[in-house]
Amino acid sequence: MKSEAQYVICVGNKGYAASLELRKIYQVLSDKAGLKHHQIRVIDESGEDYLYPEDYFVPVRLPQAVERAVRRATA
């Protein structure tokens, strides 16, 4: 069974303006060690995944049609 993708909206980017765009949707990747340090792993503007402060993001649940469109756009 495929796990459900998680998405967040960027609401802060101090110190990371080149890597994170405000109000943009990012996909979250699982990183239990990062969560212990109040960080989440997202695929940023470089196309790579990095840890960022969790308070820079707000979780969002996308409607299925939007999630499919986002997945196609990032594939």
Q: What is the mean pLDDT of residues 43-68?
A: 92
The confidence score (pLDDT) of residue 1 equals: 33
Q: Are 42 and 49 in contact (CB under 8 A)?
A: yes
Burial status of residue 61 (CB atoms within 10 A of its CB: 0-12, 13-18, 19 or more): exposed
Question: What's this model's pTM, rounded to 2 decimal places?
Answer: 0.83
User: What structural domains and CATH numbers belong to the chain?
Assistant: 6-74 (2.30.30)
pLDDT digits (tens, 9 = 90+) for 2-30: 445 699 999 999 999 999 999 999 999 99
pLDDT at 4: 59
Residue 50 to residue 28: CA distance in whole angstroms: 10
Q: What is the rounded average pLDDT of the residues 55-67?
A: 92
Query: pLDDT digit string (tens) for 39-53?
Result: 999 999 998 999 999
